[in-house]
Every structure is written in structure tokens, then in C-alpha cells.
Structure 1
Amino acid sequence: MGSVETLEFQAETRQLLRLVIHSIYSNKDIFLRELISNASDALDKLRLESLIDSGLAGIDTADLCILLEVDDEARTLTVRDNGIGMTRDDLVELIGTIAKSGTAGLLEKIKESKDAATAESLIGQFGVGFYSAFMVADRVTVRTRRVGTEDGTQWESDGEGTYELQAVDGLPVGTSVTLHLKPADSEDGLADYLSPAKIRQIVKQYSDFIRWPIRMASERTDSAGAGSEGTDAQSADPQDAAAGGVDTLNSMKALWARPRSEVTQEEYDEFYQQISHDWLAPAATVHMRAEGTFEYEALLFIPSQAPFDLFSRESRRSGVQLYVKRVFIMDDCEALMPDYLRFVKGVVDAHDLSLNVSRELLQHDRQIHGVRRRLVKKVLGALKDMQSKDAERYAKVWDQFGRALKEGLLEDTDNTEALLELVSVASTHDPEKTTTLRQYVERMKDGQDTVYYLTGETRAMVENSPHMEAFTAKGYEVLILTDPVDEVWVDRVPAFDGRPLQSIAKGQVDLDGSDAADEEADAEKARREEEFAALLSWLTTTLSGQVKEVRLSSRLTTSAACIVGDAHDVTPTLEKMYRAMGQELPPVRRILELNPAHPLVTALRTAHDAGADDPALAETAELVYGGALLAEGGDLADPARFTRLLTERLTRAL
């Protein structure tokens, strides 16, 4: 070995080291992730350079790997690779100095950051994750030799202010990083990093899909092992070490990195079950690769069955994991998938993010927003494809996740049309099957330009609503919407395919059209309005505390009356939902519509025109209004009074 040369860290590097060691990383386990990632990069570079540089054509790249070595007695953990290696100058530039511009700005941002996660991500963006080794080690030794050179170099430091460089003969090509570990300390978050079980757990969590094998000796080495400087073991080549008893710790099965044509459905299903803990096969698989300015691969799955907590706000979370170059970064990455697609499971492997990117930065990253948009379109496209090719399977998926997908109509305006194409709801067309909006439009009557719907708590309540009478009589199909979210999205979405959506319980309904053939009906309508004008005016005054207007109805055929809202009124069901959530709304006075052909209404008009006793008429008006309110599932303001009035009338009628 050559003479020892002592050098000082660059000033900014010393500051950065102190931050890393004492305050930045909240999870100390990631030091191993960082070192394995660096080793993987070195192997990638050697493979690439051996293909480009004809002078390296003879280099053996058949068994590139990463080797982990534990020495109990010396308390060392070594991460070794047979990758491209480094020269002395590389060590000075890459470790002794932060060899990038803007160092001062980086440190200032770190000091200003309000939380550890943001500071951690800034460290990662700057590519200095190697320094995390000093969180768990009080001394780090790096031994390396670059491919194509004969000279090896040893770098060593305690991370305080200086580092030592020394020439070393006989090193194999590649790099070994030996950590002289601090004692395990639960208070400082220092685990037993000499424990094979702990090492396996970290590798499985963060580096399972690294493309190169990560190996570890089956038995711990003795004191002459990796931690003993100057021994043969310290300079051993991973290929030689691998010849002994070693286990490969990672699966290396990154399905997303393989062409789709090379992956079987059985492999997809097995991987899905591994990451989702679901025993059923997925309903659909989305496998994609994006190349260009921001490269990534994605492997996403649409489950066959909804988890029990899909609609629980307390446990709600995304199902997409984020990797960077096959290194696990985080579970439940909300930035990659909107909340309404929280049931989608899978992984996204980005090539150009830092290993320590935080959730906060992802939320504002322009490239991540672009990835999210493409992922959403792919998932919605997969659902649309399933809908057109396998209606039975799609019906099952919609039954499980339709309510969540309809939430997207409230929050994802960019994909409103795509989501509307997926909507599948009950209708009066077929009591056994649901219908899509597209199918509804294809069945619309000649001259119909509106998509009609009615919301309510149950299908039976909607089907038996007085509002349905004229539509049923004239053969108009009506969508039956009974999900709580239906009450909201229909107000946010004005139309489908250019055709307005209209509640049959709101506004005026005219199913007669305006052709010349209907002039006689219009004349009859005008005559009736004149006949009932006095009664309608009196009822509007008498019921002024409950309704804003009383008018004749064109939507009733058998019922005496119904309650309707103006176009933008809150529905009774939505009122109940707000009330259940503790939100009181201002009282909504709606419109009472009367069926002029009903015997009760004509008798009421006759009694009023004859000057009958006003108190008795007023009570009758109350009963008509209360009955209409109950028919649509509304709540009476004074149920006891309504019951008493009804009982008295029934008694007199007997």
C-alpha cells in the first residue's frame, strides 16, 4: 500500500455531512438502499462501457453482482460490487467535493426547509446519498479500482472534516464500501445492521427489483472477513465470493421492465397478488413504458373485488408504489393516481427522479403531473376496452368500483367525457340490467334531446315516485340514480354527448313538444290554467310557509300532487345527506304541482270557488302538500299534526 494522503472535505461538504448525520434522514435504514443503488449504477455503467469501448471487450460481465458481507467481531458491513470502479480523482470529485454548482443554494434550502422529508428530498436531488452511511457508521472505508486501470485506491473517513487517500495494489475491478458500524441503539434509531434478518428485510423492502443479484454469505464471516483491512477478503472479487455459500436476497423480477410480450398472464397475476395481498386475479392489467424527456415504466392492475375500506376516509390511500430505477421509494403515492382511482394497484418506476424525493415535492412536480395524466388515461382506457369487449366482466367491476369512479366526475374535469362513457346505472328500460349513457342515447325517442333522470334513496322509491307517471305513460326512459354521489355529480355535469341531463323532479317538464298538432293541447292547457287560477293563487298564499309556488302539472297522470324543485334547488335526499353530516342548509321552499284531472284537485277547486269554509280548505291543502312530500320520501315538519288531520278526515268519511 502507498503512503497516506490526508485531505480536507470541501467546506460545503462538511456542512452537508453534519446535516446528514444529525438531522436529515428520519429513516436510517435507507443508508443500505443508497449504497446498493450506487453499486447498481456502477454495474450498469460497466455493462454500457463494455459495449461502447472496444478496449474493454474482454471484460467479463457474465456475473455482475452486489455482495453484502457481515463481520460480527469487527462490527463491519461491506457493500461490494464488481462494477466500473473509480480512480483516485473520481473519489476526490464524487465524495470529497460536492461537484455540482449551486451548493450554497442547496444548503440554504435545506436549512430553510420546515420538515425532515423536504430536507431529505433535497439531499437526494443533489445525488449525495453516499453520506447517509455516516448515520450508522463512525468510519467508512472505500476501496476501488476503475476498469481499464491497474491502480487501486482506498478512501477512508470518520466524516468529521478530513479523509485519507492511499494507493492499494491488487484490488479487483469494482468498489467495496465498508461501514464500521456504531453500536445498535433504539433511542437513536440504530438497528442491528449486522443481523442477516435485518439486512434481508431492508433489501426486500427497497431493492428487491434491482436488476443485479444482491448476495450475502449464508454464514457470517469470522474476524478475518470483510472488516479486516488488508486481508484477501477485503479485496475479493464478488464472483469469487459468490462461489462460496451465498444467498441471493432480491428477486430481480421487475416485470414492468420486461416487454409485455415476454410476460405471461400467470406472472402478472402472481405479481399482483404479491403487492396487493389479494387472492383473486386482477380484472385488468395495464403495462406501459414511456420514453423521451421523462422515462418510466408502469405496471397497474384493476382488481376484481373492492377492499372493505374503499370508502373509509380514515384508511383511504392510494395503491400505487413508486420506484426509481427499480429502487423502492414509497407506498401509496397519491401524486401518481387521483383519489377516485385509489383502488388501482401497481408500481411506477421512474428513471429521472431522486431516490429521496418527498411526497410534498411530487405533488408539485410538473413531470409527475404528466405521468399522472397518462396513467389515468390508460386506466380509463382499459376500463372502456373491458366495457366494449367483455360486458359481463365490466358489469362486475362497475358494481365494485362504480361509486368511486363517479367521484371522478366531481374532481377530474379533464376526464369528464371518458368517465361519463363508463357510467353504468339502473334505468326504467330494464329492471334486471344497468345501462350506459351511450346506450340510453341510442334508445332515445325521435325528437328527444334530453337525458332524463331521477335521484332517490332506493330504486323502489324512485320507480314509484309521482314524477315518473307521465314518463312511464309516454314511454320515456328515465335513469334511476340511488348512490349518494349521484346527488352531486348530476349537478356538476350539464350534458352528455351534447344532450343536457335533466332531473324529472326539477323545473318544467314538457313531453308534448311544440308541433302544430299539439295546438289543441296547448289551448286546453291554457283553459285549465284559467279555471284553476283562483285556487292556485289561494293555495300559494295558504302554503306560503312551505312552498314558493303552486301550479298545474304536466308530469302527473294518477297522483293528485307532487313536489318539484327549481332547476338549481337542492334535492330532499341531498338535504338529508348534509344534515347527517352536521351541515344545516337554509330552508328550501319548493313548488307544489297539482294534477288538474285528479278528483281530489277538482273537488278542492269546486269547494274553493263555492266559498267553502276556509279553515277546512286550509287543512285539506295541508294534507295534499304533506301527502306529496311523503310520496317523494321527504320529511314532514309536524308529523303529529299531519296524522291528526288525516285521522279526523278519515273518521268523518266513515
Structure 2
Amino acid sequence: MTNATTESRTFEADVSRLLHMMVHSVYSDRDVFLRELISNAADACEKLRYESIATPTLIGDTGKLAITVTADPEAGKLTISDNGIGMSRDELIEALGTIARSGTRAFMEQVEAAKGKDGAQLIGQFGVGFYSAFMVAAEVDVVSRRAGSGEAWHWTSNGKGEFSVAPAAIEDAPERGTRVVLTLLDNAKTYAERWTLERIVKAQSGHVPVPIYLVEKPGAEPTSLADGAALWTKPKSEIRPEDYADFYRSVAAQYDEPAATIHFRAEGRHEYTTLAFVPGSKPFDLLDADRKGRMKLYVKRVFITDEAELLPRYLRFVRGLVDTADLPLNVSREMIQDSPLLAAIRKGVTNRILADLGKMAETDADAFGEIWANFGPVIKEGLYEDYERREQLLTLARFATTTTGGLRSLKDYVVALRENQTAIYYIVGDDPARIATSPQLEGFRARGIEVLLLSDPVDGFWVSSAPDYEGKPFKSVTQGAADLGLIPLLNGEATPRAESTPEVATLLEAMKLTLADEVADVRASDRLTESAVCLVAPDTGPDRQFEKLLSAAGRIDDTTKPILEINGQHPLIVGLAGLQDELLRDDLAHLLLDEARILDGERPGDARSFSERLGRLIAKAVR
């Protein structure tokens, strides 16, 4: 405490570190700070609009909502003020001083990892925009008065680890809202010049839903920089691509280009306007299953909430808004959750977004390929969660396969089915490179059968519940019998018998007894052409990789015994079948099982026994 009314505080550790990075940053575009402060001011105005629905006196007679940017070149200061909701003392401390959200730490980790990446994208992506002011300011002062309050508060900091909060004189405070004053660094004085401010505001904030005015110097008349007209209410023919991109950056808080823009008005039983964007890059928390969507709900251009869940979770990366006149302005959150109208809007918006993505997939494969690369793992969650749209999502999905370097649709897969092929084959794993070289694929490659390579965490779940695509069932290459006998080899040769000799058949029976405690069966394989052994799951129950996922998640206690498949044509197996040394043959049986485990990405069942058996084999070989 510096005196009876001023309280000094230390920023939390993560925030202090963040501020240090901001102050000492070398970002190529420091203009981002102005966009962030204007976006914060616009949010404050929208919050006031919403709260004034229940309490009209909050707006009073102070005129229409607006944001004012005031330059003071002589003093080297820049002020961004709004007449929005304002902040109380506690809200100032929470919003500006003690934020310890996960985004702060994640932002710093990304900055350190990215090195040369554009900081503007990261700042917006992680929601730490206010702190960007310290890239251009030696000191930041915030004076705020919450709507309806008789008190005003002054927050100040130089960004070097501490901030202070004190009461502000009412006569020096806004009647309502917030004033942010930046004392500019010597190398940032151009941000107090008219042409610089006009350029940044028109390029980056021209479509925020609140008017923006510029005061060239203290005492000058304000001039309009942006009219605050809602972009989504304008005819599409009047909106330029750069207008959409500017609005996207405002609503999405990202600084890339939108990968897709979806703007439409639904008419009929329910009327609403939707303006949605697919981002050009991944949000940092994309794979967080608890992450909520970022679609805003407006009623007659008044922002209501961003927690209406207007899209299913698997479309949580989509940014934008829905504006409807069919809901009352004083709609409660409880009413939103139970509203049949919102349910209808949710269904309509979801279907339209998926339909537009489907059209893009057909007409611009490269652009859609980038969207799928960024968001495919999340969209595939819908295959598991959204039964109603599963067919639509399967058509949209793209997959890496064993026969192409790029991504393939199931439609293309089905067109390329081999003679007598009746199933869509897939293999699941957590390492794309490893599963592409799995021994279970050998027989499929020899026959030119395309196999989907599924390496996303959700793949094991959706593929186990997806019954078919266009009548073709999904079948794991690591489960059950391969049943490849009716599909000809590419070289035109006849399919070899799985068991080549009576001696091999006898060997399999002996291995069943030897390995009875560790495997459910030992059988000849028609899926192996090069490797000696592999493991597969029984015909019933989960696929081996899916079972591993369930076990790791604690969903099952015991895993089923695998089946060991043997390549009866392999020289090692043929040689083993002719051995008369039973001890050596038993050792080799266990070693072959451990080899199959290693090929499957596992460890030997018992490391010590594995080492002892290997040692006995080496000793016998060098005698």
C-alpha cells in the first residue's frame, strides 16, 4: 500500500513473464495493439446494450454508444475511450492484473516455440490482447466507471511487474465506460499521428458494430472513422472480400485470413442471419473436448451471449454470429437452453455449414484440403457423436491411405474397390509412420487393396460405431480373419495356401500349446507376405488399437488375448518347422510372439525372459 487509498499489486508470475515478452518483443506488426483495445471497447459497448435490456437506466441520456480515439502528438499520448459498461475496482483487477487463464501460459509456450511466427496472430489467437499495449507504451493508465455506479477507478502500470489501483476523481472520469491512456514509447510516437490511426482503424477495425471517431488532437472536433453498421445486415453484393476478412479478425480475434466465409439469411418459419467463418489456422485449444464454441447470438443486432451453443462441439472451431428477430430481447439463458427456436437455428446453421464445406470439397479440393488438415480430427468427432449427420460427415471426410500420397474421400475409395472386395479396410494407430509399415498390411498391398490409415485419437471410436458407407462395412485389418482369398494378387499369381506344408501345420499346433497363456490362438495367415508373424484381435470385441485406447482411459480392466498369425511361406517358419530341438523351438515361439508385439508398437511381454531366450539363441548360433 502506498497510501490509504492506493493499492499496489504484483502481477501473477505468468502475466509478468508475458508482459516482459510484450515489452521486449520484436513483432513485425505492432499495429495489433490498437485493434485489441478497440475490440475490447466494442465488447464493453455490446455488454451495456445487453444489460440495459433489463435495466434501461444504465444507458441514460449520454447519447449513442461510441468509441473515440484521441491523439496527442505533443504529449506523446494516445487515448482509446468508450461509453460502454465500464468496470468496477474488482473487475479492473481481475481483467487487467491477475489473469491466470490457461491461454496466457499457452501463448508464451507458442511464442517461444514459434520463434519467427507473426506475433499478431498469436496475440489474437490466445486472447491476451490488452497486454499488447505495452509493445508501444511506457505506461498504461485505465480510468473506468461502471454503468450505474457513483465510483470510478484508476488502474496504472508500466508493465514491469506491478500495477496499482486507486479511486479516480469523478470529475476526471467518464460518466460511464472506460478510458485507456497510453504514454507512447519514443519509437512509437507515430501512433499519435492522424494518418497512422486512420490507416490502422480502417484496415483492421472498420467493421466493429460500434461507431469509431478520431480526435486528431485534444479539443479538435471528432471525425468518423467507422459507422458501426452491422456487416451481416448488408447485402452480400455490397460486401468486399477484404470487408469479410476484417470482420472475421474482429469477431474471431485471429489475424489470419478466413479459410471459408458462410453468409446467409434464412427465411420462412424461422428467420435469422448467419455470418460464420472457418479460420485459416488452428486455435491453440482446438482439441480440448471441453472447449466451447465461439458463435455469438444477437437478437435484433443486440449481442446476447456467446454461450448459446449454436453449433455442435465438433464444429467448435467455427467463428461468427447468428442474429435473429424471433427471440425476445430479454431472453434468459434458461430460455435459450430450452428454446425450440434455438434448436431449429442450431440445426439449420449446422446443416448449412456442412453443406458449404461439402461444396468446397467438390469445387476447390486444395482449399478444402487445408481446412481438413487443420480441423479434420475435430470434425471426425461428429462421426461418433452425430448419428443424424454421419453419412454427410463420412462424405466430407478425407483420409490418408496406403495407395496415395494425398487425402482420399470414401467416394473415391469405393470407386477404386478391387475385384471381389466387399469392405472398406482400415488400420488404427497413434503413429502414422508406424501403421503405414505394419505387417498386417502386406497381404492387402500385394492385392492392391487400399487401406485407410487412421492415426487421430478419435478414429478408434468412430470407426467402431460406423456400420458402413454406401453399403460397404468398415473392417479392421488387425481384427479377425482377413478373408483375402477371393481377391487376386497384383502379379496375377494364384493366392498361396496359408499353410504350406504338414510340418508347418504341426508347428502351429505345438505353438498353440506353448503360448496358450499369452495368445488366444496361433493360426496360419493370408495377410502376411513378407513378415513372419503379426498379432490380430479376435473376430468379436474391439480392435486391438481401440482396446488400447479404452484401457489407457480406464474404460476396461482386462484386455483380450490376441491371435498370433504365422506366415507359413516364410523361410524362418519353414526352418522352425523342421527343428527337432524342443527347447530351442519353444524359445523361438516366444521370441516370435515378442517380435509380433514389437512390430505392433509394444514391448516384449517379459523383458528378462526375452533377453534370456535371445541369449540362448545367440549362444547356440556361435558355437
Aligned AA for 1:382?
D
Query: What aligned pairs does 1:487-506 form with structure 2 within 5 A after superposition?
Result: 487-506=460-479
| 1:324 paired to 2:324 | no
Q: Pairwise CA RMSD of aligned residues? A: 4.1
| 1:642 paired to 2:607 | no
| 1:418 paired to 2:416 | no
For the structure 1 residues 407 and 474, does the alpha-carbon distance in structure 2 shift closer, same or farther, using more than 3 Å as the test? same
Match of 2:413 among 440, 446, 450: 440
Mapped to 2, the partners of 1:397 and 1:28 lie a distance apart of 33
Q: SS of 2:348's equivalent?
A: helix
Match of 2:259 among 263, 275, 283: 283
For the structure 1 residues 259 and 545, does the alpha-carbon distance in structure 2 shift closer, same or farther, using more than 3 Å as the test? same
Q: CA deviation at 1:181?
A: 5.6
Aligned AA for 2:232?
W
Aligned AA for 1:407?
E
Query: What aligned pairs does 1:39-50 form with structure 2 within 5 A after superposition?
Result: none
For the structure 1 residues 191 and 565, does the alpha-carbon distance in structure 2 shift closer, same or farther, using more than 3 Å as the test? farther
Query: For residue 320 of structure 2, what is the aligned residue in structure 1?
Result: 346
Render the CA deviation track for 1:341-380: whole Å, top value 9, x for unaligned. 1110001112122334344442332221111111111111
Q: CA deviation at 1:273?
A: 0.9
Query: What aligned pairs does 1:103-502 form with structure 2 within 5 A after superposition?
Result: 183-184=150-151, 195-196=173-174, 198-199=176-177, 209=209, 251-313=227-289, 316-331=291-306, 333-430=307-404, 432-502=405-475
Render the CA deviation track for 1:420-459: whole Å, top value 9, x for unaligned. 11221211212x3121211112222233221111122323
Mapped to 1, the partners of 2:420 and 2:574 lie a distance apart of 33
Aligned AA for 1:351?
A
Match of 2:564 among 588, 592, 614: 592
Aligned AA for 1:350?
T
Aligned AA for 2:517?
G
* Contact preservation (8 Å) 1:324, 1:354: yes
* Contact preservation (8 Å) 2:314, 2:378: yes
* Contact preservation (8 Å) 2:418, 2:487: no
Query: For residue 129 of structure 2, what is the aligned residue in structure 1?
Result: none
Query: For residue 604 of structure 1, what is the aligned residue in structure 2?
Result: 576
| 1:621 paired to 2:595 | no
Q: CA deviation at 1:529?
A: 8.6
Mapped to 1, the partners of 2:522 and 2:174 lie a distance apart of 80
Mapped to 1, the partners of 2:212 and 2:437 lie a distance apart of 67
Q: CA deviation at 1:417?
A: 1.3
For the structure 1 residues 564 and 31, does the alpha-carbon distance in structure 2 shift closer, same or farther, using more than 3 Å as the test? closer
Q: CA deviation at 1:634?
A: 2.2
Aligned AA for 1:475?
G
Render the CA deviation track for 1:371-406: whole Å, top value 9, x for unaligned. 111111111122112211211111111111111111
Render the CA deviation track for 1:169-207: whole Å, top value 9, x for unaligned. xxxxxxxxxxx9663389xxx999995484479xxxxx9
Mapped to 2, the partners of 1:409 and 1:193 lie a distance apart of 57
Query: For residue 559 of structure 1, what is the aligned residue in structure 2?
Result: 531
For the structure 1 residues 571 and 651, does the alpha-carbon distance in structure 2 shift closer, same or farther, using more than 3 Å as the test? farther
User: Structure 1: which 5+ residue stretches go unaligned?
Assistant: 1-26, 40-64, 70-77, 80-179, 202-206, 219-243
* Contact preservation (8 Å) 1:294, 1:351: no
Aligned length: 453
Mapped to 2, the partners of 1:283 and 1:191 lie a distance apart of 45
* Contact preservation (8 Å) 1:539, 1:550: yes
Q: SS of 1:501's equivalent?
A: strand
User: Structure 2: which 5+ residue stretches go unaligned?
Assistant: 1-43, 57-61, 67-82, 85-146, 154-166, 180-206
Q: SS of 1:469's equivalent?
A: helix
* Contact preservation (8 Å) 2:296, 2:308: no
Q: CA deviation at 1:536?
A: 3.1
Mapped to 1, the partners of 2:329 and 2:148 lie a distance apart of 23
* Contact preservation (8 Å) 1:193, 1:199: no
Q: SS of 1:453's equivalent?
A: strand
Q: CA deviation at 1:29?
A: 9.7
Q: SS of 1:266's equivalent?
A: helix
TM (norm. structure 2) is 0.64
Mapped to 1, the partners of 2:283 and 2:175 lie a distance apart of 31
Query: For residue 118 of structure 2, what is the aligned residue in structure 1?
Result: none
For the structure 1 residues 497 and 379, does the alpha-carbon distance in structure 2 shift closer, same or farther, using more than 3 Å as the test? same
TM (norm. structure 1) is 0.61
In our comparison, the structure showing a higher alpha carbon Rg is 1
Query: What aligned pairs does 1:536-575 form with structure 2 within 5 A after superposition?
Result: 536-575=508-547
Aligned AA for 1:634?
E
For the structure 1 residues 439 and 602, does the alpha-carbon distance in structure 2 shift closer, same or farther, using more than 3 Å as the test? same
Q: CA deviation at 1:535?
A: 3.6
Q: CA deviation at 1:618?
A: 2.3
